[in-house]
Structure 1
Amino acid sequence: MKLEANRDACISSGNCVMTSEALFDQDDDGVVVILAEDVPEAEEDHAREAVDICPASVLRLV
């Protein structure tokens, strides 16, 4: 499972970071940064939750 993010459409809500600090961070402008494109098995549920709760729908699992 891989994570992708459309950084250009990110609205900097930070919900993803609150879901998993192991997978997500934010740059100085608050835009999402993917820390682990290949999602570790232990973080798969967190990745799914982040995709589901992203208010701008910029996160995607492939």
Structure 2
Amino acid sequence: MKATVDREGCIECGLCASVCPEVFRMGDDGPAEAYVDEVPESAEQTAVEAQEGCPVSVITVE
């Protein structure tokens, strides 16, 4: 399972990083980023929750 963030559309709310810090973090330049190549099995559910909770729908988890 992989996660990506469309950083250009990110509004920097921080929700994804707070819901699933194992996969997402706020980048040094502002927008969030998915910083792992593969979503750990233990974080799959919270990664999907971050995707579903993103207010601008810029997260993809597949």
| Alpha-carbon separation, structure 2, partners of 1:39 and 1:56 | 21
Choose between structure 1 and 2: higher helix proportion.
1
CA RMSD across the alignment: 1.1
What number of residue pairs does the alignment pair up? 62
How far apart are residue 43 of structure 1 and its match? 0.3
Structure 1 stretches of 5 or more lacking a match?
none
The one-letter code sitting in structure 2 at the alignment partner of 1:17 is A
Q: Is the 8 A contact 1:17 1:23 kept in 2?
A: yes
The one-letter code sitting in structure 2 at the alignment partner of 1:32 is A
Q: Which moved more, 1:48-57 or 1:20-29?
A: 20-29
Matched, 1:53 2:53: yes
The TM-score with structure 1 as length reference comes to: 0.90
Partner in structure 1 of residue 37 of structure 2 = 37
Deviation string 1:2-58 (CA, Å, 9 cap, x unpaired) is 101100000001000110111111123430011213111000001010000000100
Matched, 1:8 2:8: yes
| Alpha-carbon separation, structure 1, partners of 2:26 and 2:4 | 14
Identity %: 35
| Alpha-carbon separation, structure 2, partners of 1:34 and 1:11 | 15
The one-letter code sitting in structure 1 at the alignment partner of 2:35 is L
